[in-house]
Amino acid sequence: MKARRDIFQAIADPTRRAIITLIALQAMTPNAIAEHFDTSRQAVSKHLQILTECELVTQSQKGREIYYQLEVNKMKEIDKWLEQFRKIWETRFNQLDNLLETIKKQKK
Amino acid sequence: MNSTLKFDFEVNKDNNTIVVKREFAANLELVWRAWTTAELLDQWWGPEPCKAETKSMDFREGGHWLYCMVIPPSLTGAETDQRNWGKQNFKKIVLHKSFSGTDVFCDENGTVNPEFPAGNFENQFNETDGKTTVTMISKHNSFEDIQAVIEMGFKEGIEVSFNQLDELFK
């Protein structure tokens, strides 16, 4: 697989998913985020960096502190992607419905 | 569109599984046949306007289904049909109850394409009051694998518009 930076890579890791859940409620500083995890601060920074590269979180400066917040619209892309997958299966299943009906009628 | 039949769809990111559950208005024997017979699979497995074409089907433990998804130029912008080959290897079959195995992408000779991830699938069949529920459990090694598989599916079906669907079910 090619290396890539997209939203699916972002959510492929459990720690990153936990970070997303955490900052969905409110923007947080890296220190405040790190307090919620057993991993090192560097590890959390690395995750934040990946999330930023995937444009799933953005930074903003408030005074001396940097805050990370969730890009809600980017999260919606994931929903959209799953919805399309669902649609493919819906199409298939509707076709199968029709086929089953046809076979049932032929039997009669 | 059939809105009275139950349809559940769930992607579980913690154990990398996709579970799709759907009810069909037919008895188990018929639904089982539609999922395990090449002539019938070819009539519904390809999401319009794509078509599934079976090259070989040997529905027994250790056997496989080799088929291609024919994608028309209207979806790809290419001059001719595009053919994506896939293979289901059957590992365990319990008649009228379930069948499971692996799902791989391959070429027309069935040679596996290692670029795309293999997945494990299990399809379960249950009949209640003359309706049959099929539960498809698809398990992958990583979330990236799920993503790759879904992206493959995309190419086949992303362009299916609601208009085409309406046309189909008139």
Domain residue ranges of chain A, discontinuous segments joined by +:
1-70, 72-108
Distance from CA of A68 to the nearest CA of B (A): 23
User: Tell me, which fold does domain B7-168 have in CATH?
Assistant: Alpha-D-Glucose-1,6-Bisphosphate; Chain A, domain 4 (3.30.530)
User: Do residue B157 and residue A88 have CB atoms under 8 angstroms apart?
Assistant: yes
Its CATH class, for the domain covering A1-70, is mainly alpha
* pTM across the whole model: 0.69
Interface of B with A in 9-38 (CB under 8 A): 9, 11, 13-14, 20, 22, 24-26, 30-31, 34
Distance from CA of B68 to the nearest CA of A (A): 15
Write the residue in A9, A81, A100 that is nearest to B31 by C-beta.
Answer: A100
Joined tokens for residue A81: 């992607």
User: Do residue B34 and residue A100 have CB atoms under 8 angstroms apart?
Assistant: yes
pLDDT in tens, chain B (170 residues): 444 677 777 777 778 888 888 999 999 999 999 999 999 999 999 988 889 999 999 999 999 999 998 988 887 778 899 898 999 999 999 999 999 999 888 999 999 988 777 889 999 999 999 999 999 998 888 777 776 666 665 444 433 333 333 343 33
**pLDDT tens digits for A74-106?**
777 767 767 777 788 888 999 999 999 999 998
If we measure between CA atoms, which residue out of B132, B136, B97, B133 comes closest to residue A88? Answer: B136
Model-level ipTM above the cut of 0.95: no
Number of C-beta neighbours around residue B162 at 10 A: 9
Q: Give the CA distances from residue B4 to residues A97, B7, B23, B68, B169, in Å, rounded to whole numbers and listed in that order.
A: 12, 9, 9, 31, 15
Residues in chain B closer than 8 A to A87 (CB atoms): 157, 160
Distance from CA of B143 to the nearest CA of A (A): 5
